A and B are shown apart, each in its own frame.
Chain A
Amino acid sequence: MRELKSDRQHKITFTLDGRQVSGDAEPHLLLSDFLREKLGVTSVHVGCEHGVCGTCTVHIDGKAVRACLTFAVQVGNRRVDTVESLSNNEGELNDLQSAFRKHHALQCGFCTPGILMSVEHYLRHNSDPTESDVRDMLSGHLCRCTGYVGMVRAIMETAAKRKSGI
């Protein structure tokens, strides 16, 4: 394991939403703060900074991870994907995002990027979930606006459509 000096800046190079990026971070800098403050990735939101609310969830090498419980220096040479990777450059939302819109699965939208990233990871490994499965998975996130109803509907609909190849 590489040893890092506590007061030094360490250069981190990694893939962010498909682009090679790099930046300097002290070892105690959280990935959430690094993405937001140093790289300007303001789509990663910070809700509790102790791993409960799930707002800051991103993918690291394809797995949903809390960015507030990860140090920036841990992502060197890895792949980090944020909610910005889900829509294309023409401003088209993906199927899950569109279903969230259709079913009014967001209000203030602050928790939404993290939730979308968890759901994308989950659906990749669970193509045919029951509503109870989906609710279990979603329980790793807090949303204070919606009561989760629209989210459950949107996720169930997206899972069904993806499974049937629509």
Chain B
Amino acid sequence: MSAKNTVGSYVGQAIERQEDAALLGGQALFSDDLPIAAGTLHAAILRSPHAHAEIVSIDTIAAKALPSVAAVLIGSDIQQYSDPFITVLKRPIDEWSLAVDRVRFVGEAVAVVIAEDRYKAEDALDLINVIYKPLPAVINPKEAAKENAPILYPEAGSNVLSERHFKYGDPDGAFAKSKHKVSIEIDYPRNSQTPLEGYVVVASYNKFDDAYEVNANFQGPYTVHPVMSRALRVPGSRFRMQTPAHSGGGFGVKQAIFPYVVLMCLAARHVGRPVKWVEDRLEHLTAATAAPNRIIQAEAAVQEDGRVTAFRFVQLDDYGAHLRPPMPGPLYRQHGLMTGAYDVPNLAITNRLVLTNKTPSGMVRGFGGPQIYFAIERLMHRIAIELGMDPLDVIRRNLVASDSFPYRAAGGALLDSGDYQKAIDLGVNDGGLDELKRRREKARAEGKYYGIGYAAIVEPGQSNIGYLSTIVPFKERQKAGHKGGSVSHATIHVDPMGVVSVTADCIPQGQGQATVLSQIVADQLGLKPEDIKVSLEHDTQKDPWSLATGNYSSRFSSATAVAAHLAAKKVREKLIAVAGQALNVTTDDIELTGGKIVDSKNPENFLKFHRVAGLTHWEPGKLPTGMAAGLSETASWAPPELDPPTEGDQINTSLTYGFLFDYCGVEIDPHTAEIRIDKYVTTHDSGKLLNPLIANGQIYGAFAWGVGCALLEEFAYGEDGSFLTGTFADYLCPTSVEIPEPQILHMETPTPFTPLGAKGIGEGNCMSTPVCIANAVCDAIGAENVNLPIYPAKLLPFIDREETAPPQDIALSQRQQTPDGGRAIVGEGNIFAPTDPETVWQTLLDPRHLAAIIPGCQNLEVVGENAYRADVNIAVGPIGGMFRAEISLSDLDPPKSVTLSGSLAGPLGSSAGSGKVRLTQEENGTRIDYTYSVEVSGKVAAIGGRMLDGASQVLINQFFKRLIVRLGGEPIEKPTLWARFLRLLGFNR
């Protein structure tokens, strides 16, 4: 069809979003707002307080006895109706939707309570008694990869599940010949963009059809749909997944909802009623997902002029406790593109994948890009330092040349288009790099710490779903069948009144896809965007979908948007054919414009859009021969460039490749080492911008998260595996005062691989901004390297300043490194007892006395010689709950010294500790000296880290005070500051 595209004015315009009014007015419905069936029950999940432990027993009787509780499910219950999740690697690493026999991270789901409402379900969690046998945990990926490490899956024989070596070109030859070898090791932390809306699942089960229905804020990819349906032992047709039109942020994170989808399906089946579960913030931060932390040894072979001839990367990627599909995607998403923006012909890669006792890794915006670009761009910065060159000169010397597109990178990426040198010119000139350099000079002359950092990266868009198969050798791929490609769908329906509706497979998470699709379709049909109704809730039973369906890998603008464009063209062509017959003109002369279908040679000869659309419904018999009646068109789009990996393991990992050039100036406070971003310039070539307002919104958002990753965000763990950042007061997200407004510059080199010319834009700054800031910080303080997040304490050693002495008499207890590297609360104290040491000794060793002395102790029983078990009710400030205590006495040296060891376990978490007590005879009594060390894990550690020192101290002081009272004395202690203050004012207390 050669009909002229006479319109096209809406694509490219900064049109306000059609999504916004309902969101601003509070009328948009998110998952938790959707109506549910009467009688729906609510779930709450009991989670492991241990990083690694065997489950000895689970007692659910008391919880089940509550009248509001419908059921309590544990691992052995769900095994009856489900199977473990399929994994990318065929290894003995089964994960179920509830822990079976063993827990492998703090926060792992152990039991689920289904009750009348969430409050009652949570209350019932406290009545479940789980006995764990703790096992050694491993947190550091390097430690986990060692042969003698504690192994998460003993049947797998190792925590290292995959190790592959790749060579492209002749990296060994290039390194042998190179004048310089520059290397760096980076340790990229765990983080996540943590959407403000948590996971929501509503599930039901139809026992007559053996079919599950789910509505959940799952964001895809739908490669996971078969994973869920197979875990539920039903075909996909009997696992109906619906997703809402509005989701409160995704950032990849809402892919990892899938184990809960399966769990709630099983819960609904068990109770015979619909079940709803809403994740809370503690659950999300503890157990949802995180980008894999990664250690990369990066090395470059460099010529005298700064030209890089080879890269070598050795990567150790940490997937936490389970390998959930589509993991280990982040390790391979960039595989074809490991040379970044540079023309480097020789490349060696070693990829190792390791498990540790942390929350399973998953999809997070950037998806492998932030990690590898941190290594590449830090390395480019190091090359400049070691060769005495300007960092920007090293970047420019190595860029892929503008006349070489489409350019096949060493690893297989087919870089579609661009002009990287021109983009850098634009950034340097319009961003004012010279002025920034002058600012640095001036600041340094004034004795300030000021640095400039750069990053030049290639931003991939729309993943090749076959890239992950690169993890297995070619012969295995041949056997299993090659995988490659990416399919997207959109459907346009025009009703008898000419009203246009659009559905598509993009599963929006707030990016404004409905608006952009309305622009694309309006252009093809000669209508206005507000005439187009876009509905993006998705239903696997009614809407077309593919493995690639979903919201991830910046796929929208080169995938779903193209499918919608193609579907609109099909509708347009049909309308032209119908109108040509009705207007009696040749179709070449027909235009769609302003709601009319017009004979361009005679504009008086036209039909209104709705009239022509109506003909397809009202008079199907009179349509041109062979034409289908009605007006509904679905288009699918599968770009041919996305081939499976080759025999030589080359893989075109993505379809489009945009370019970013960032630079920034940072100033570091000479006293506090606080980092201030003085100026940030980000230059983008993302091809055609479909809606510049929305495109810039993506950049601002990715930049903000990049700043968060650079300076604040990290999921922190103790070496014992306890999780330490369970609130937004511990996991720090940047606010409006931490994020400056970046200067955004654009150039547009359309991709030749799609009819719209647009590339991905939503992930680039997640990849470029962290390393750009790190490069600037290193420039400011002269550090060789700095790992993220860069908080002031990491910079203090580099800053030349007078150290102020800490105030004396600060605190009795403090955090210290334990001998095994864990973090513990340690402290010491003394107290006076008005009796002889022998009496104190007898009291401590007598279980009846001990029961009275231990704060909150109930039911102390003797379980062995000098070994006791007790239920203890502990309440200190906001922390309170029942704990099971195990106490033993050892190293007995009567009546001089004894070691008390013990552990506490309860719904709030667990702790283990020991203390040494020494008795010394004094005049009129006994002096009792004690030292203690306590390690805490579970919920208390995650949310109450800041309060633990004080709480432990209070409990231990209580213990000894009660001992003194038991011995007939009054507790004597140093007056507190408050008591001294009151005494000063004349209050004698």
Contact = CB atoms under 8 A, between A and B. Distances in A.
A157 interface: no
A6 B249 CA distance: 36
B248 A110 contact: yes
B952 interface: no
Interface stretch (B299-307, B455-463, B491-499, B507-515): B507-515
Interface in B591-623: none
Given A45-B197, A109-B510, A141 B25 contact: no
Contacts of B195: 108, 110, 144
Given A43-B27, A87-B25, A144 B193 contact: yes
A18 B219 CA distance: 38
Given A55-B196, A109-B510, A144-B733, A101 B21 contact: yes
Nearest to A28: B119
A12 B243 CA distance: 35
A84 interface: yes
Contacts of B196: 45, 47-48, 53, 55, 108, 110-111, 142-144
Contacts of B985: none
A83 B249 contact: no
A160 interface: no
Interface stretch (A70-78, A121-129, A147-155): A147-155
B19 interface: yes
Max chain A Cβ within 10 angstroms of own Cβ: one of B25, B193, B693: B25
Contacts of B250: 108
A155 to B, nearest CB: 10
A57 interface: no
A112 interface: yes
A110 B23 CA distance: 8
A55 B250 CA distance: 16
A148 B736 contact: yes
Given A48-B727, A109-B28, A136 B737 contact: yes
A9 interface: no
A147 B510 CA distance: 14
Interface in B950-988: none
Interface string A100-137: 11101011111111001000000000000000001110
A49 B20 contact: no
Given A49-B281, A107-B697, A147 B249 contact: no
Contact of A50 (B16, B512, B728): B728
Contact of B736 (A104, A108, A135, A145): A135
B703 interface: yes
B24 A147 contact: no
Contacts of A109: 19-20, 23-24, 28, 246, 248, 510
Given A108-B247, A144-B733, A101 B20 contact: yes
Nearest to A52: B728
Contacts of A29: 119
A28 B704 CA distance: 36
A104 B193 CA distance: 20
B interface, over-half SS? loop
B80 interface: no
B697 A113 contact: no
B29 interface: yes
Contact of B704 (A55, A87, A113, A148): A148
B626 interface: no
B281 A48 contact: yes
Nearest to A152: B736
B17 interface: yes
Contacts of A112: 23-24
Contacts of A113: 26
A147 B247 contact: no
A163 B301 CA distance: 62
Nearest to A139: B735
Given A104-B693, A146-B700, A135 B737 contact: yes
A65 interface: no
A165 interface: no
A152 B700 CA distance: 13
A44 B117 CA distance: 19
Given A144-B193, A145-B249, A97 B24 contact: yes
B24 A100 contact: yes
B33 interface: yes
B50 to A, nearest CB: 24
B741 interface: yes
A48 B33 contact: no
B76 to A, nearest CB: 32
Given A101-B20, A104-B694, A52 B510 contact: no
Max chain A Cβ within 10 angstroms of own Cβ: one of B24, B248, B739, B741: B24
Contacts of B25: 43, 83-84, 86-87, 91, 93, 97
B704 to A, nearest CB: 3
A149 B741 contact: yes
Interface string B737-767: 1010100000000000000000000000000
Contacts of A108: 23, 195-197, 246-250, 509-510
A107 B511 contact: yes
B30 interface: yes
B210 interface: no
Contact of B251 (A84, A100, A142, A144): A144
Interface in B692-746: 693-694, 696-697, 700-701, 703-705, 727-729, 733, 735-737, 739, 741
Contacts of B28: 109
Nearest to A68: B281
Given A47-B281, A144-B193, A107 B701 contact: yes
A110 B26 CA distance: 9
Contacts of A102: 16
A31 B68 CA distance: 22
B280 interface: yes
B485 to A, nearest CB: 30
B119 A43 contact: no
Given A93-B24, A107-B511, A107-B701, A50 B737 contact: no
A55 B733 CA distance: 14
Contacts of B21: 91, 93, 101
B686 interface: no
Max chain B Cβ within 10 angstroms of own Cβ: one of A52, A82, A108: A108
A159 interface: no
A97 B511 CA distance: 18
Contacts of B251: 144
Contact of B194 (A100, A144, A149): A144
A127 to B, nearest CB: 20
Nearest to B512: A107
Contacts of B27: 43, 84
A142 to B, nearest CB: 5
B283 to A, nearest CB: 11
A151 B736 contact: yes
Nearest to B253: A144
Nearest to A147: B704
A95 to B, nearest CB: 12
A146 B88 CA distance: 34
Nearest to B708: A144
A45 B24 contact: no
Nearest to B18: A101
Interface string A37-81: 100001111111110110100000000000000000000000000
Contacts of A45: 30, 196-197, 248
Interface in A1-54: 28-29, 36-37, 42-50, 52-53
15 contacts: A45-B197, A47-B248, A50-B728, A84-B25, A104-B696, A106-B23, A111-B196, A135-B736, A136-B737, A139-B737, A144-B733, A146-B697, A146-B701, A147-B704, A151-B736
The 10 closest A-B pairs by CB, nearest first: A43-B26, A108-B510, A109-B23, A110-B248, A147-B704, A42-B33, A52-B728, A147-B700, A138-B736, A139-B735
Given A50-B943, A136-B736, 9 more contacts: A42-B26, A50-B281, A50-B728, A91-B21, A109-B248, A144-B251, A145-B697, A147-B703, A148-B735
